[in-house]
């Protein structure tokens, strides 16, 4: 028997979203004081993310035992990321150039308030070249990676640790079992925290509407509308086609992840659902080693929504300030964004900072134009986070199909609704070694380990 709407996580988040808008609109002063609810929820999730990623990756690699396969999955994931990210960047440039959202604004750069981005230059220095980026992947100490919560550093440590455990063979088996047990403890903790998602969404949405007001979209409504349209086209047309070629339906996947999508929409942060998304993809029938490698890596290398934002915003600023752009300039924006977008995750205020770094490399576009997008950055952040998350989930499915690490029958049953997945109820349940197919799987969710 299905739960009543208001008793499901999906229903509670929807209600919280509506309440947040109403509170922000009717009592803006009170609404701005609710910001700690959203911030607190995201911080609670981030406490668990680093150790959970470590456990999932180590267990996935050590239980696989095939180190060549691990390397192959990593290489295929990176190749996929580069190709799809290029499509996202190109789509942003194309639609901005064709629909021209900034044309007609005729903004005089001398009238813009430079103080709004005064601290930007201090943070842009964090975005360096490829060598510096690679050096930052290496933590100062084993513990430092977890202390900073840097997902890529944790991933590097986990890969090294998992490979070492796998190389030990039988002597490493107790470690594998211990790590697996620890992962279930962390998933149980996530089950507790996830129940607070409606409060987090209520606080984040109420604060945003209360501070900026619904009317804040009017000034730059065309840019925001175009960004949401571009992200929608990317998800439905490009990611939908990729997923269709892999044998699955994008809309069924979105329906399966609807609770997580709503939390991301409310908090404008894909970090808020990283553990639940990893768990759900495993329960869909994708091998844990593939999920553990692709999702965390994708959080820095496969930022589809962020890539669209970079090129769209850069062209918009050029148009709004009456800066003519040649085809060479457009290609330069594309090339530079392909590099700068990789350093986004983990940089404070990443969207504006990386956009500033991108513009600084293109002298033709006035960097002061960043002020134009500051007021609507949070609204665009919701679509950025949603598109990033969907892109990484699709990437995981595709790499799983590519490597034959997905149980297709199990995945279709889950996506068709034949198997009911309750992330709260199963957070601490150990997963059987073999996938249980058929109606009974609804009671005992399973994962493919073969």
Superfamily of domain 8-431: Sodium:dicarboxylate symporter (1.10.3860.10)
136 or 407, greater pLDDT: 407
Helices (H) and strands (E) in the chain, counts: 22, 0
Confidence of residue 433 (pLDDT cuts 50, 70, 90): very low
**pLDDT score of 142 more than 60:** yes
Q: In 287-349, which ranges are continuous DSSP H helix?
A: 288-301, 304-320, 327-340
Alpha carbons 237 and 203: distance in angstroms, whole number: 33
**pLDDT score of 292 more than 60:** yes
Q: Are 280 and 257 in contact (CB under 8 A)?
A: yes
Instruction: Give the tokens for residue 212.
Output: 């900026």
Maximum pairwise Cα distance, the chain: 69
pLDDT at site 126: 53
Confidence of residue 234 (pLDDT cuts 50, 70, 90): very high
Q: Return the top range by mean pLDDT from 10-19, 244-253, 305-314.
A: 244-253
pTM score, two decimals? 0.73
* DSSP calls for 366-417: -GGGGHHHHTTHHHHHHHHHHHHHHHHHHHHHHHHHHTT-B-HHHHHHHHTT
**pLDDT score of 215 more than 70:** no
254 or 167, greater pLDDT: 254
Alpha carbons 416 and 418: distance in angstroms, whole number: 6
Lowest mean pLDDT among 23-37, 89-103, 205-219, 387-401: 205-219
Q: Is 413 left (phi over 0), alpha (psi -120 to 50) or beta?
A: alpha
- Give me the residue spans of the domains in the chain: 8-431
Q: Which residues pair with 286 in a beta bridge?
A: 406
Q: Tally the residues of the chain.
A: 450
How far are the Cα atoms of 17, 243, 283 from residue 251, in angstroms, in the given order? 22, 10, 18
**pLDDT score of 387 more than 90:** yes
Confidence of residue 221 (pLDDT cuts 50, 70, 90): confident
Q: What percent of the chain has pLDDT over 70?
A: 77
């Amino acid at each position: 028997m299905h739960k009543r709407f208001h008793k499901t996580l999906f229903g509670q988040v929807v209600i919280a979203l509506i309440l947040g808008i109403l509170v922000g609109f009717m009592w803006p002063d009170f609404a701005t004081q609710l910001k700690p609810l959203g911030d607190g929820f995201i911080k609670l999730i981030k406490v668990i993310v680093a150790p959970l990623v470590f456990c999932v990756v180590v267990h996935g690699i050590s239980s696989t035992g095939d180190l060549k396969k691990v390397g192959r999955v990593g290489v295929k994931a990176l190749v996929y990321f580069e190709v799809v990210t290029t499509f996202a960047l190109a789509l942003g440039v194309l639609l901005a150039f064709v629909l021209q959202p900034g044309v007609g604004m005729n903004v005089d750069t001398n009238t813009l308030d430079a103080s709004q981005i005064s601290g930007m230059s201090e943070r842009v220095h964090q975005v360096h070249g490829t060598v510096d980026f690679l050096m930052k992947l290496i933590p100062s100490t084993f513990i430092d990676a977890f202390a900073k919560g840097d997902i890529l550093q944790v991933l590097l440590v986990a890969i090294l640790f998992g490979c070492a455990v796998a190389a030990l063979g039988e002597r490493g088996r107790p470690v594998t079992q211990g790590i697996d047990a620890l992962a279930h403890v962390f998933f149980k903790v996530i089950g507790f925290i996830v129940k607070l998602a409606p409060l987090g969404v209520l606080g984040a949405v109420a604060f945003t509407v209360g501070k900026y007001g619904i009317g804040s979209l009017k000034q730059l409504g065309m840019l925001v509308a175009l960004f949401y349209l571009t992200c929608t086209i990317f998800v439905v047309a490009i990611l939908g086609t990729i997923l269709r070629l892999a044998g699955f339906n994008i809309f069924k996947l979105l329906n399966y992840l609807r609770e997580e999508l709503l939390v991301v929409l409310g908090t404008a942060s894909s970090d808020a659902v990283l553990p639940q998304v990893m768990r759900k993809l495993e329960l869909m029938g994708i091998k844990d080693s593939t999920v553990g490698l692709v999702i965390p890596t994708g959080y820095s290398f496969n930022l589809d929504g962020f890539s669209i934002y970079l090129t769209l915003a850069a062209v918009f600023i050029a148009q709004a300030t009456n800066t003519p752009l040649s085809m060479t300039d457009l290609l330069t924006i594309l090339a530079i964004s392909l590099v700068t977008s990789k350093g986004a995750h983990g940089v404070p205020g990443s969207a504006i900072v990386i956009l500033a770094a991108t513009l600084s490399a293109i002298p033709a576009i006035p960097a002061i134009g960043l002020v134009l997008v500051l007021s609507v950055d949070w609204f665009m952040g919701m679509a950025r986070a949603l598109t990033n998350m969907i892109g990484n989930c699709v990437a995981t499915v595709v790499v799983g199909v590519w490597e034959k690490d997905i149980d297709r029958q199990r995945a279709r049953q889950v996506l068709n609704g034949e198997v009911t997945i309750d992330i709260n109820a199963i957070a601490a349940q150990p997963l059987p070694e073999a996938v249980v197919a058929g109606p009974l799987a609804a009671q005992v969710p399973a994962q493919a380990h073969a």
